[in-house]
Amino acid sequence: MKRGLRARRRRKPRPAPTAAAPLKLDLACGQSKQTGFTGVDIAAVAGVDVVHDLLITPWPFADESVEEIFCSHFIEHIPMPCAACSNGQQDPFFLFFDELWRVLKVGSKALMIAPYYKSARAWQDPTHRRAINEWTFLYMNEEWRRQNRLDHYKVRANFNFSYGYSFSPDWAARAEEARGFALRHYMDVVMDIHTTLEKIPLLPTAAPTPEP
């Protein structure tokens, strides 16, 4: 070895940083958590990873940190506040969806499954408090609220949505035209409604309407 030169030690290459696994939440999962999801429930039962009451905010998740949400048969249980004793507080239903919107990333989706309002399933459980239909989720769309002059509603969430149905066994194999007619006119054709919500940004602040 020549004088003045030092032997260079070979450095081991550092392992490439691994991306954190996407955070996917199964809200009110109970003992039926979806595979690959983090289970959240008020009850500390098997499968629950985060014990938390979903009607208490904020949830223990950062803003725009969640990639996907699954929630089955919970929203129909959200209580209705007494109008005479609410003291101007936010309806718990809107509170839930505002928090859902907060934790989701823009463009991420949440699947909500609930008994359909024209099914006996909607009211067979004494703990059900609300009936859910295709129009329920319009109130979680900011543009629709503005168009219908409902800006005063205490809800901030902004979602686009689409929906589908779980048909009862008697109707599941029927022709689409027959099911469409039955859906409009009969009870107990659909068991559950499946609504997919996609988080979108808030609209620009509307300019105040000039007084005449």
The pLDDT of residue 134 is above 80: yes
pLDDT at 5: 47
Q: Write the CB contacts of 88 (distance below 8 Å, at least 6 apart in sequence).
A: none
149-198 residue pLDDT tens: 999 999 999 999 999 999 999 999 999 999 999 999 999 999 999 999 99
**b/e per residue 73-96 (b: at least 16 CB within 10 A):** bbbbebeeeeeeeeeeebbbbbbb
pLDDT tens digits, one per residue of 198-211: 999 999 986 665 56
Mean pLDDT of 136-148: 97
Say which residue, 212 or 120, is predicted with more confidence: 120
Q: Round to whole Å and give the CA distance between 66 and 197.
A: 13
Residue 52 has pLDDT above 60, yes or no: yes
Tell me the pLDDT band of 212, cut-offs 50, 70 and 90: low
Confidence of residue 21 (pLDDT cuts 50, 70, 90): confident
pLDDT at 3: 52
Strand partners, 143: none
Q: 172: which residues sit within 8 A by CB, 6+ positions away? A: none
Token match 């219908």: residue? Answer: 148
* Rounded Cα distance, 29 and 4, in Å: 68
b/e map 151-167, b = 16+ CB within 10 Å: eeeebebbbebebebeb
pLDDT at 46 over 80: yes
| CATH number for the domain formed by residue range(s) 24-199 | 3.40.50.150
Q: Hey, CA dihedral for 35, 38, 137, 197, is it positive or negative?
A: negative
Domain ranges of the chain: 24-199
Residue 13 scores a pLDDT above 70: no
* β strands within the chain, DSSP E: 24-27, 38-41, 50-51, 66-72, 104-115, 159-167, 190-199
Contacts of 123 (CB under 8 A, 6+ apart): 131
CB atoms under 10 Å from CB of 187, counted, come to 11
